[in-house]
């Protein structure tokens, strides 16, 4: 009688050996259930974030103050739709249909990056989001291009190529404001004040409080911890703010000569969890908007299928 | 013979307003693929508008940039047709608006591309190339919605009925439009409406519907709030 | 009235960037039919160019090897080295002729 327990253990050992050898895991390869579940969770959260992320920026397309900014912002939000699409596609390689993923999002069963629960209150927020939020996302995504799961890594390579212009246009946008009229400068500083801390929280809870961290590192899904990524981001971004004359809203911010790192003050994790759990300004607006698009689009999706069916008959 | 500033503004404003309307769909379309497709059309139109505005500003000779023309003119100075300022409505109305617009715009762009105004001809040729792709996509939707479900057929016919009177501004002779769209409508199992008693017009003279002012208030508010600022 | 939602069937997209190159798998799109699948593929995967050709095929129609097959189905084995050009040593004169 075959020993199922040791069969499973042998499979897991071989799987880990492939990971350790730097091999990519592809959709039809054997993988532990936990690995599959983690990837479905990560990739779908990432996909939902891209799609929900279209809303805070989409909010300002109709008010963009120049033709160039209008087109750039529309192109950026269009890219985000594309990224959502690539990522839903990556989840689908693990056998989960897009319909199910969308149903989970709308029912509140799925998470998306909580940064998008904050409101975009001024035009300068478009700069802050591109510079900070996309800047943070790029670091995470660059790391994920090395992810052990093939389809996710490949989607990340494609996304990283496209993301480069997002961060640049955001930084340029806010830089122009920072050296503009007094009103524009104030607008830029206000945006930085409101988006700095939530962006730092995007990297997730500190390593000692993060449940999935160790396992994801062992499976080479991630290559860096939350805190490492956060520090990387701070070190890149503080000089950028100083370059354009904007102040990071952190009275404890200081440069540590010994390590060469910028040290930040304490992050308010209570606030983070409050927003994640539904207490942000826009949580309900975001899901409401997606629900409406979904509901109002149903007759369209059905019509297209009805047409196709008639042609097959 | 060169096009007049008024003609250039009409070309530009049609595309600026229509591009703006299409951008309103981004994040709210029936499916992700369509968020991307409609944004694509919107981006092309905004690009075309920018180039036509730049040319108009040059020829006008008053030193107005494309941005100044876009963000600082009042509604009565806009020369877009009434069709493009109509709100998006449902997806059927957006598709009908696009099909009707491109059916008129494409022949006009092709004519300008062969015309004697060399600078304009180059812009028109590029715009025609893009419009051909737009028309392909929206006509495919026109047929799928017309001949899809009962509900989509009803919505598509209603959209066509509502927007048809606005086509008067785009066509010299109504017969042209009918001929152009008859085959398409038949494929879509839709009926082209009868000629209205009172075809809508006025956009080319700056007499717009109430929709344009709301659209421009939104579009121009940030630019107008910071006079002289760079973006 | 059903609460079921369809996001349309899944299609795989293959992109050829330059003539002479093979078509490479770029990803997937959802579409109700082939024409809209091609347009979606163009909008999603050929927006930044360069692309000279696109193929789309319904994912359900793709036949693929399974990993379990790999050993018997796919591995060439070291025994059949006669299929590799390196296996053959030819005298110098046979290697190349001057082009006319």
Does residue C82 have a pLDDT over 70?
no
Collect all residues of chain C within an 8 Å Cβ-Cβ radius of residue A97: 7
Q: What is the pLDDT of residue B195?
A: 84
Collect all residues of chain A within an 8 Å Cβ-Cβ radius of residue B32: 51, 81, 84-85, 88
What values do phi and psi take at A262, rounded to 5? Answer: -85, 130
Q: How far lies B59's CA from each of A273, B11, B15, in Å?
A: 58, 14, 19
The whole-angstrom distance between B26's CA and the closest CA on chain A is 7
C5/A298 touch (CB, cutoff 8 Å), yes or no: yes
Collect all residues of chain B within an 8 Å Cβ-Cβ radius of residue A55: 27
C61 touches chain A (CB under 8 A): no
CATH number of the domain bearing residue C53: 3.10.20.520
A81/B222 touch (CB, cutoff 8 Å), yes or no: no
Strand pairing report for C24-30 and C53-58: unpaired
Q: How many CB atoms lie within 10 A of CB B200?
A: 18
Q: What is the pLDDT of residue A222?
A: 86
Three-state DSSP class for residue A254: strand
Collect all residues of chain C within an 8 Å Cβ-Cβ radius of residue A28: 64, 66-67
**Chain B: touching chains (3 or more CB pairs < 8 Å):** A, C
Cβ-Cβ contacts under 8 Å between B and C: the total is 26
C43/B37 touch (CB, cutoff 8 Å), yes or no: yes
Contact indicator for A227, A205 with CB cutoff of 8 Å: no
Total number of domains in chain C: 1
CATH number of the domain bearing residue B104: 1.20.1260.10
Q: How many CB atoms lie within 10 A of CB A105?
A: 23
Both tokens of C65, joined, read: 């090897």
Does residue C14 have a pLDDT over 60?
yes
Domain that holds residue B109: 5-190+209-225
Q: Which of C38, C39, C56 to mutate against chain B (most B CBs within 10 Å)?
A: C39
**Chain A: touching chains (3 or more CB pairs < 8 Å):** B, C
Task: Give the Cα separation of A311 and A307 in Å (integer).
Answer: 7
Does residue C95 have a pLDDT over 60?
no
Q: Which region holds residue A312: left if phi is over 0, alpha if psi is between -120 and 50, else beta? A: alpha
A23 touches chain C (CB under 8 A): no
Q: What is the pLDDT of residue A268?
A: 96
Give C28's strand partners. Answer: C12
The whole-angstrom distance between B38's CA and the closest CA on chain C is 10
Across all residues in chain C, what is the average pLDDT?
82
Residue B185 lies in a domain: yes
Residue B108 lies in a domain: yes
Collect all residues of chain C within an 8 Å Cβ-Cβ radius of residue A26: 67
Contact indicator for A118, A70 with CB cutoff of 8 Å: no
- In chain A, which stretches have pLDDT less than 70? 1-5
A67/B40 touch (CB, cutoff 8 Å), yes or no: no
C33/A158 touch (CB, cutoff 8 Å), yes or no: no
Q: What is the pLDDT of residue B170?
A: 85
A274 touches chain C (CB under 8 A): no
User: Model pTM?
Assistant: 0.94
Does residue C4 have a pLDDT over 50?
yes
pLDDT digits (tens, 9 = 90+) for C43-77: 999 988 789 999 999 999 999 887 777 666 666 56
Q: What is the pLDDT of residue C2?
A: 41
Residue C96 lies in a domain: no
Q: What is the pLDDT of residue C86?
A: 62
Residues 6+ apart with CB under 8 A from B56: B5, B8, B9, B12, B69
A301/C44 touch (CB, cutoff 8 Å), yes or no: no
Does residue C83 have a pLDDT over 70?
no
What values do phi and psi take at B190, rounded to 5? Answer: -110, 160
B40 touches chain C (CB under 8 A): yes
pLDDT digits (tens, 9 = 90+) for B201-210: 999 999 999 9
B31/C39 touch (CB, cutoff 8 Å), yes or no: no
> Closest residue of C to B32, CA-based?
C30
Contact indicator for B90, A296 with CB cutoff of 8 Å: yes
Q: What is the pLDDT of residue A263?
A: 97
Residue C73 lies in a domain: yes
With bands split at pLDDT 50, 70 and 90, how would you rate the model's confidence at C1?
Answer: very low
Nearest CB to A62: which of B23, B28, B147? B23
Pick from A251, A252, A253, A247: which is nearest to A234 by CA?
A253
**Chain C: touching chains (3 or more CB pairs < 8 Å):** A, B
Q: Which of A12-16, A276-280, B21-25, C4-8 has the lowest mean pLDDT?
A: C4-8
Q: What is the pLDDT of residue A4?
A: 57
Continuous segment of H or E residues that includes residue A255: strand A254-256
Residue C16 lies in a domain: yes
Collect all residues of chain A within an 8 Å Cβ-Cβ radius of residue C64: 28
> Closest residue of C to B34, CA-based?
C40
Nearest CB to B229: which of A181, A297, A303? A181
Q: What is the pLDDT of residue C11?
A: 96
Residues 6+ apart with CB under 8 A from C63: none
Residue B230 lies in a domain: no
* Residue A284: half-sphere exposure toward Cβ, Cα within 13 Å: 2
Does residue B172 have a pLDDT over 90?
no
Collect all residues of chain C within an 8 Å Cβ-Cβ radius of residue A311: 33
C6/A301 touch (CB, cutoff 8 Å), yes or no: yes
Domain that holds residue C18: 10-91
C8 touches chain A (CB under 8 A): yes
Q: What is the pLDDT of residue A238?
A: 98
Q: Which of C43, C46, C47 to mutate against chain B (most B CBs within 10 Å)?
A: C43
Q: Which of A31, A90, A96, A99 to mutate against chain C (most C CBs within 10 Å)?
A: A99
Q: Which of C32, C35, C40, C73 to mutate against chain A (most A CBs within 10 Å)?
A: C32
Taking residues B63-92, report their average pLDDT: 98
> Closest residue of B to A183, CA-based?
B226
Task: Give the Cα separation of B213 and B76 in Å (integer).
Answer: 9
Contact indicator for B231, A73 with CB cutoff of 8 Å: no
Q: What is the pLDDT of residue A91?
A: 96
Q: Is the peptide bond before C50 cis (omega within 30 degrees of 0)?
A: yes
Total number of domains in chain B: 1
B33 touches chain C (CB under 8 A): yes
């Amino acid at each position: 009688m075959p020993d199922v327990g040791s069969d499973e253990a042998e499979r897991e050992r071989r799987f880990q050996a492939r990971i350790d050898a730097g091999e990519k895991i592809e959709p039809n390869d054997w993988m532990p259930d936990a690995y599959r579940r983690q990837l479905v969770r990560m990739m779908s959260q990432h996909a939902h974030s891209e799609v929900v992320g279209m809303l805070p920026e989409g909010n300002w397309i109709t008010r963009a103050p120049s033709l160039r900014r209008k087109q750039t912002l529309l192109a950026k939000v269009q890219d985000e739709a594309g990224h959502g699409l690539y990522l839903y596609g990556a989840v689908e390689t693990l056998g989960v249909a897009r319909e199910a993923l969308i149903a989970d999002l709308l029912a509140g069963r799925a998470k998306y990056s909580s940064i998008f629960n904050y409101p975009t209150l001024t035009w300068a927020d478009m700069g802050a989001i591109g510079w900070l939020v996309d800047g943070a996302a790029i670091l995470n995504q660059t790391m994920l291009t090395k992810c052990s799961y093939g389809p996710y890594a490949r989607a990340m390579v494609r996304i990283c190529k496209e993301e480069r212009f997002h961060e640049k246009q955001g930084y340029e946008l806010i830089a122009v404001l920072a050296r503009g009229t007094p009103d524009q400068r104030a607008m830029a500083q206000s945006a930085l004040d409101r988006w700095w801390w939530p962006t730092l929280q995007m990297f997730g809870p500190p390593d000692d409080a993060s449940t999935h961290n160790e396992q994801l590192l062992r499976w080479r899904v991630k290559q860096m911890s939350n805190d490492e990524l956060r520090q990387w981001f701070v070190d890149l971004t503080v000089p950028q703010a100083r370059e354009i004359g904007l102040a990071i809203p952190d009275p404890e911010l200081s440069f540590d000569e010994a390590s060469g790192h910028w040290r930040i003050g304490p992050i308010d994790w209570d606030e983070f969890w409050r927003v994640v759990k539904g207490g942000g300004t826009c949580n309900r607006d975001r899901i409401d908007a997606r629900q409406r698009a979904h509901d109002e689009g149903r007759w369209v999706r059905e019509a297209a299928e009805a047409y196709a069916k008639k042609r097959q008959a | 013979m060169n096009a007049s500033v008024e003609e250039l503004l009409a070309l530009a404003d049609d595309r600026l307003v229509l591009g703006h309307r299409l951008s309103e769909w981004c994040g709210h379309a029936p499916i992700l693929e369509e968020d991307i497709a409609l944004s694509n059309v919107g981006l092309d139109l905004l690009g075309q508008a920018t180039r036509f505005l730049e040319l108009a500003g040059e020829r006008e000779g008053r030193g107005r940039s494309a941005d100044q023309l876009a963000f600082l003119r009042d509604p009565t100075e806009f020369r877009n047709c009434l069709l493009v300022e109509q709100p998006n409505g449902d997806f059927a109305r957006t598709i009908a608006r696009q099909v009707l617009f491109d059916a008129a715009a494409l022949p006009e762009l092709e004519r300008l591309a062969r015309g004697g105004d060399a600078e304009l001809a180059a812009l028109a040729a590029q715009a025609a190339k893009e419009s051909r792709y737009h028309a392909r996509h929206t006509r495919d939707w026109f047929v799928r919605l017309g001949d899809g479900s009962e509900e989509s057929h009803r919505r598509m016919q209603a959209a066509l009925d509502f927007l048809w009177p606005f086509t008067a501004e785009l066509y010299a002779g109504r017969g042209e439009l009918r001929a152009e769209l008859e085959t398409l409508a038949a494929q879509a199992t839709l009926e082209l409406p009868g000629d209205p008693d009172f075809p809508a017009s006025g956009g080319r003279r700056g007499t717009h519907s109430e929709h344009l002012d709301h659209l421009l208030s939104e579009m121009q508010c940030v630019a107008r709030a910071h006079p002289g600022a760079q973006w | 009235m059903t609460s079921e939602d369809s996001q349309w069937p899944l299609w795989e997209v293959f992109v050829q960037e330059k003539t002479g190159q093979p078509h490479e798998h770029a990803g997937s799109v959802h579409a109700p039919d082939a024409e809209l699948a091609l347009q979606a593929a163009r909008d999603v995967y050929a927006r930044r160019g360069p692309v000279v050709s696109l193929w789309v095929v319904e994912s359900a129609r793709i036949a693929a090897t399974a990993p379990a097959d790999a050993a018997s189905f796919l591995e060439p084995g070291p025994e059949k080295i006669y299929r590799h050009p390196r296996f053959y040593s030819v005298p110098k004169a046979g290697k190349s002729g001057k082009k006319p």
